[in-house]
Amino acid sequence: MALKGIKKWLKEEDSDIMSEEGVSEEFYTTRVEDIKNDKTGGKMILLEPRAYSESQQIADYLKKRNTVVVNLKRVTPEQAKRIVDFLSGTIYAIGGEIQKIGGGIFLCTPNNVNVEGKITDEKEGKNIHDNTDINIEW
């Protein structure tokens, strides 16, 4: 009897929290009208966090439907793993995607951005060249 009561209670709670698409309103409250009127949505933001504590800022950009490229080369491997874990949870909550696009560099996109194509791993394929000496500063 108690289990049925708990399931019913949880179901009622879920209906208050979840939208029709199954994405939590608490985490992702941006509406289409807000995107059209908001000057912050639709940007691509490049970030190089220096500590795990900056993960929430990255998640906030994603919640506002911005694409974020995260370079984790300035944090320790342990912090990098924690940041990726945190962002993976955020990405899951908003229905987005996360892709590794280079050594320690990740592309995080909300569900309003479609990414086509794939960056191959540095060890895959023939004729892979190390072009790290190319500088594009203007």
In a domain, 56, yes or no: yes
pLDDT for the residue 102: 86
Domain with 52 in it? 41-115
pLDDT tens string, the chain, 138 residues long: the values are: 455 555 554 555 444 444 444 444 444 444 445 544 555 568 899 999 999 999 999 999 999 999 999 999 999 999 999 999 999 999 999 999 999 998 899 999 999 998 888 877 666 556 666 666 677 766
Q: Given this model, what pLDDT does residue 41 score?
A: 65
Q: Give the tens place of pLDDT for each residue, 22-52.
A: 444 444 444 445 544 555 568 899 999 999 9
Do the domain assignments include residue 108? yes
What total of structural domains would you count in the chain? 1
Q: How far apart are the first and last CA of the chain?
A: 70
Q: Is 71 exposed, middle or buried (0-12, 13-18, 19+ CB in 10 A)?
A: middle
Cα–Cα distances (Å) from 124 to 10, 108, 138, in that order, read 47, 22, 31
Asked if residue 19 is part of any domain, the answer here is: no
- The CATH number that applies at residue 57 is 3.30.110.150
pLDDT, residue 120, reads 75
Please spell the DSSP secondary structure of 42-58, one letter per residue. T-EEEE--SSGGGHHHH
pTM, whole model, 2 decimals? Answer: 0.64
